[in-house]
Structure 1
Amino acid sequence: MIIFDCDGVLVDSEILSNGIDAELMRAAGYPITAAELIRGYIGRPKAEIWAAIAEERGVAWPDGLLEKADALLLERIETELQPVAGVAEALALIPGRKAVASSSALPKLRKALARCGLLETFDPAVFSASQVARGKPAPDVFLYAARECGVAADQCLVVEDSVAGVHAGRAAGMRVLGFTGGLHSYPGHAEALIAAGAAEVVADMRDLPERVSAQLQEV
């Protein structure tokens, strides 16, 4: 079975989400850019990211700020979110069972997939870190996805764009294929995924079916 991360692999939401978060954090007095958020934090549950940065800066966020970020993102998902270029064509060429395992909350995850015309490709095998005890980089959501689908962890291949996600997949005992074809990709992205444990990295969705096929032979 192939387990896909969602944000930055299937849908180009990271660029939207981190842009909103950085703008609100700056307005609250913390100087950070979307690029810095992407490089340092993507892949983890949003609430954990905000909590970690609050701890680093030593000041709690204003009440309701995270909820405002979530609401703004949901609005922009409905009007602006696009699938990663070429993803529908790539998925059509990849045979076998597929699932999604994401750090996003389940309502946002399903909304994003539906907006991009991808929900029916995976439903009902759509899983969120909100359904398990720990988010990425812990392996919980990947293990949960495999268990719910009745597939052994060592028979799963993960497709991930984040260091946290790669760590999670490897901790679950799964082989991981890195992906850097999203709009949020940054200099050194591929090298970071390899260093985290990805078997290889794909930079273009058009190359994904061939590389998935090759990696599945190693599973």
Structure 2
Amino acid sequence: MNTTHSKYKCIIFDCDGVLVDSEAIGNQVLVDLANELGANIDLNYAYQHFKGGSLGGCMKQIETLISSELPNDFEERYRKRSFENFRQYIQPIEGITEIIKNLKIPFCVASSGPISKIRLNLEFTGLLPYFEDRIFSCYTLQKWKPDPAIFLWAASSMGFDPKDCVVIEDSLTGVKAAKAGGFDVFGYAAQDYTNELKGKADLVFEDMKELSYLL
């Protein structure tokens, strides 16, 4: 396995659900806010329809569910409530800190979230020192996955071609973005309850501790 994948010179990590265990927290806040407006959805719905997407896309989806426009302060309320919950409850993905500490090749993070959110979540989980100056946000480009722009920008900024990089993703949207950019992509499937990554990612794994062997 090691000989097959030793071609990689750079690793591009997604943030939510790959570095930090934020998916359940962020999605639950979205579910709660949507249900306060009458959406009547649960966390499973959020995992299927919101995971890996932009907040704007999730908000459009909620508008469809409630058949009306969201209040103007919806995003502000989401950011405030999720920030409070992240600060209290967020943890690094089990095993990721050891992986990061022992990596011998360059790595970075490329996420759909705003820079401020990425930095805070990495800070809350003790991972920020490892990613300082190597944080790439879709908000900077105003282009969101499944558009590959974020990964292409991250790779070129790190000084590598897509073929030399591997992307670590946990959402189908992210996997599609990486493949569209010409990257190999490993799907982290610990929370992939519907097996949607199988057959789409180049390789699927469920325990983050496996990653060092896969690389």
Q: TM-score, normalised by structure 1?
A: 0.89
Percent identity, aligned pairs only? 32
Identify the residue that residue 127 of structure 1 maps to in structure 2: 136
Encode CA deviations 1:113-141: one digit per residue, 9 max, x unaligned: 01111111122111111011310111011
- Choose 97-106 or 28-37, whichever is displaced more: 28-37
Identify the residue that residue 105 of structure 1 maps to in structure 2: 114
Output the amino acid matched with 2:175.
V
Output the amino acid matched with 2:198.
I
Q: CA contact under 8 A between 1:4 and 1:159: conserved in structure 2?
A: yes
SS in 2 for 1:206: helix
Shift of 1:50: 1.0
1:62-77 counterparts in 2 under 5 A? 62-77=71-86
Shift of 1:9: 0.4
Instruction: Confirm or deny that 1:193 pairs with 2:197.
Output: yes
User: 2:113 & 2:44 partners in 1: Cα distance?
Assistant: 19
SS in 2 for 1:88: helix
Output the amino acid matched with 1:124.
D
Aligned residue among 201, 204, 209 for 2:207: 204
Shift of 1:57: 4.3
User: 1:111 & 1:98 partners in 2: Cα distance?
Assistant: 19
- Which runs of 5 or more structure 2 residues have no equivalent in the other structure? 1-9
Aligned residue among 55, 58, 61 for 2:67: 58
Encode CA deviations 1:22-55: one digit per residue, 9 max, x unaligned: 0110010111112211122211111221123314
Shift of 1:83: 0.6
Q: TM-score, normalised by structure 2?
A: 0.91
User: 1:43 & 1:71 partners in 2: Cα distance?
Assistant: 20
Output the amino acid matched with 2:154.
A
Output the amino acid matched with 1:209.
S
User: 2:192 & 2:189 partners in 1: Cα distance?
Assistant: 8
User: 2:43 & 2:78 partners in 1: Cα distance?
Assistant: 13
Aligned residue among 159, 167, 173 for 1:150: 159
Instruction: Confirm or deny that 1:83 pairs with 2:83.
Output: no
User: 1:194 & 1:95 partners in 2: Cα distance?
Assistant: 28
Encode CA deviations 1:70-90: one digit per residue, 9 max, x unaligned: 111111222211111111012
Q: CA contact under 8 A between 1:131 and 1:141: conserved in structure 2?
A: no
Output the amino acid matched with 1:131.
T
Identify the residue that residue 5 of structure 1 maps to in structure 2: 14
Shift of 1:10: 0.5
- Aligned Cα RMSD in Å? 1.3
Q: Which runs of 4+ in 1 moved over 2 A?
A: 55-58
Count the aligned residue pairs: 206
Shift of 1:56: 5.2
- Which runs of 5 or more structure 1 residues have no equivalent in the other structure? 214-219
